[in-house]
Amino acid sequence: MHKAVVVLPTYNEAGNIARVVEEIFSLQPKIKTWELMVLVVDDFSPDNTAGIVKKLQSKYPALYLIQGKKEGLGKAYVRGFTYAISKLKADVLFEMDADLQHPPGLIPKFLEQIDRGADFVIGARYIKGGAIPKNWGLHRKAFSILANLIVRLGFMTLRIHDWTNGYRCIRTSFIKQILTQLDPYSGYLFQIALLDKALKNNVVIKEIPMKFRDRKKGVSKIQSLEFILSIFFYILGNSSFIKYVAVGLFGFVVDFGFAYLFIYLFNINKVASNSLSAEIAIIFNFLLNNFWSFKHKQISGGVGQYLKKFALFNLVSSGSIVIQGVGMWLLLSSLGDSVWTIVNFQISSWIVYKVLIISLVVIPYSYFMYNKIIWKN
């Protein structure tokens, strides 16, 4: 029988811990192929949370307790995962809050997805069938939705609908690969970092709908402003999309600079100039994207593979040249080639056209194609 260990980090959860443990173990008769175990990771709660757990252990032999100093949610999970893997020989690990906001009744549905081949299952509030509490205040609803939206857009991974919820089931085989990489994330940012690493390791991720319940006892420990700021900094340092955009801006300058040079110094026609400048920018973009934006899946396999990918990159990126050439021709033909005055500043119309073509068409097209063809896991 496979082992599923539910890891419950606790700090002052005396009012909730007995009920959540009882609800989890009441599910065992419904789960035939998995042995449920619960591991409470307590940060020396002054409200006797650990004492309650110790009393419950006489009733539930599969209930375990470890204690350590209070260092944040992420550190507690790392301690719990390490113990569950080394001592309890877990096959899957659950992340779950001990405050009953995560309904234990969903555990069988998580395990169904694991049995079907998923590596990482998320309880999602923002998909059909999921929800956040209706009685939450406007500020709390806005914070929850905003934090999640920032991450979705920051990583441009829209297929994941709930990045910030901490109710998950994960195969131990994946956790073993990245456990040491999670040490820097002591707080709630741990949840985002873990999912980010799952995506970069190309694991199979599924979402199931979850109705988030309101806390009945105790108080929430999350600090809204601190969490939002930590999200911003994490995205800036780890998002391939943000790095890709930065490389794109650099390529934008290169593209514009050479186009300007060809048009005004060498008197080459505007369509040809823009096509040539686009090809030069493509070369710069390939090098920077490979060694920075997509470093986690950098091209490997020797010189032959590198040259093959470079040739393929140029083939795929030729679409950008066609897009710019055709787009420039269409706009020049339909809107004309003139000089516009914008707030007492004169600007050639082709410059405006180029900005629109690159921003609205070339950047989305390129990011999609690079991920699917050049830097595909």
CATH of the domain at 201: 3.90.550.10
Same domain, 100 and 196: yes
Same domain, 169 and 278: no
Helix 224-238, helix 138-155: angle, nearest 10: 10
pLDDT of residue 137: 77
Helix 270-288, helix 349-357: angle, nearest 10: 40
Same domain, 102 and 179: yes
Long-range contact set of residues 332-340: C-beta below 8 Å, sequence gap at least 24: 332/270, 332/271, 337/270
Task: Give per-residue pLDDT as tens, 115-127.
Answer: 999 999 999 999 9
User: Given 238, 270, 301, which residue is the final one in a domain?
Assistant: 238
373 confidence band (pLDDT: 50, 70, 90): confident
**How much is the mean pLDDT over the chain?**
89
Same domain, 219 and 256: no
Residue 61, amino acid = P
pTM score, whole prediction: 0.78
Question: Which domain, by its residues, includes 185?
Answer: 2-238
Same domain, 264 and 338: yes
User: Given 221, 238, 255, which residue is the final one in a domain?
Assistant: 238
For 152-164, b/e burial (b = at least 16 CB within 10 A) is bebbbbeebbbbb
Same domain, 196 and 96: yes
41 confidence band (pLDDT: 50, 70, 90): very high
d(CA 297, CA 290): 8
Same domain, 279 and 220: no
pLDDT of residue 223: 58
Q: What mean pLDDT is predicted for residues 4-16?
A: 95
Same domain, 39 and 177: yes
Same domain, 253 and 212: no
Above 90 in pLDDT, residue 204? yes
pLDDT of residue 331: 92
Number of structural domains in the chain: 2
pLDDT of residue 37: 98
Same domain, 31 and 95: yes
User: Given 238, 268, 290, which residue is the final one in a domain?
Assistant: 238
Same domain, 224 and 297: no
Task: Give per-residue pLDDT as tens, 56-77.
Answer: 999 999 999 999 999 989 999 9
Q: What mean pLDDT is predicted for residues 287-303?
A: 85
Same domain, 197 and 259: no
215 confidence band (pLDDT: 50, 70, 90): low
Residue 111 C-beta-side C-alpha neighbours within 13 Å? 24
224 confidence band (pLDDT: 50, 70, 90): low
